[in-house]
Structure 1
Amino acid sequence: MGQVTVRVGGYSHPVSCEDGQEAHLVSLAAEVDRRIHSVRSMGGQFGESRLLLLAALLLADEVHDLKIEVAQARAGMPGQSAPDPRLAHRLTQVAERIERIAAGLEQGG
């Protein structure tokens, strides 16, 4: 089992992951950190849990939009380009990986 320390919102967090997934996890944490900086740039004072919640909601909104696009592409809706099965498969893998990481974080890393 691999372990990395990621920096999100100015704090370091040790996180376990599957061997070989360390770089990917660091990349995911960087994306979360970018969202946190985005929320902070909106102004206002947020506690850390609120900041993480808002960043998670931004990411969840993006995943939701992508799922709708994939569903529309699979359904062959007018105005949509032909679905790329590799993209749909990759999005499914990414969503599953995010869910595994979230479950791991809920269990204490």
Structure 2
Amino acid sequence: MPEVLITVGGRQFEVACQDGEEHFLRSAAKTLDAEAAALVGQIGRMPEARMLLMAGLMLADKTAALEDQLRVAEERAVVAERVATNARAHPERVEVPVIPAIVTDTFAEIAARAEALADRLDEGLAARLEERQEA
């Protein structure tokens, strides 16, 4: 079992941990040291046990707040999942007219104009053909 030397609040401690967990221990010690440093900065030097207790309590308070936030987020996720499941099970039917009336009226008018132009062109072509045949 490896022994790791950590520093918390300016004091060194030798702590044993499982093989391969040294990194996690150092990370946890760094977090605890940050809290202890804040305490020492505010209050000044204090007995080791009190410093560790206070730093631990501050971390426990932060952890409790994060756990509350996580619980609320998980509850919101459950509600969102229920809403999504319900929406998939009972999709809302939305009806939209395929083509609005104004569009069909406009297309009918354009079609009538195009037919009138085509008729005029046919008449003009027919007249020219007759003129050519007579000539």
Fold in common (TM above 0.5): yes
**Which residue in the other structure is 1:21 paired with?**
21
Matched residues in 2 for 1:44 and 1:8: separation? 14
Task: Report the CA distance shift for 1:44/1:15 in structure 2 as closer, same or farther (over 3 A).
Answer: closer
Q: Verify: 1:68 aligned to 2:72, yes or no.
A: no
**8 Å Cα contact 1:2/1:21 also seen in 2:** no
Instruction: Give the gaps of 5 or more residues in structure 1.
Output: 83-109
**8 Å Cα contact 1:39/1:55 also seen in 2:** yes
Secondary structure of the residue aligned to 2:43 is coil
Shift in Å at residue 10 of structure 1?
2.0
Matched residues in 2 for 1:55 and 1:29: separation? 11
Matched residues in 2 for 1:24 and 1:45: separation? 27
Shift in Å at residue 36 of structure 1?
0.7
Structure having the higher Rg:
2
Q: Verify: 1:46 aligned to 2:46, yes or no.
A: yes
Shift in Å at residue 3 of structure 1?
2.2
Divergent runs of 4+, >3 A: none
Two-structure CA RMSD over aligned residues (Å): 2.2
**Which residue in the other structure is 1:37 paired with?**
37
**8 Å Cα contact 2:6/2:26 also seen in 1:** yes
Shift in Å at residue 62 of structure 1?
0.8
**Structure 2-normalised TM-score?**
0.52
Which one has the bigger helix percentage? Answer: 2
Instruction: Give the gaps of 5 or more residues in structure 2.
Output: 82-135
Q: Verify: 1:11 aligned to 2:31, yes or no.
A: no
Q: Deviations over 1:12-65 (max 9, x none)?
A: 211111211102211211111111110111135522211111101110011101
Matched residues in 2 for 1:45 and 1:9: separation? 9
Look up the equivalent residue of 1:41 and give its one-letter code: G
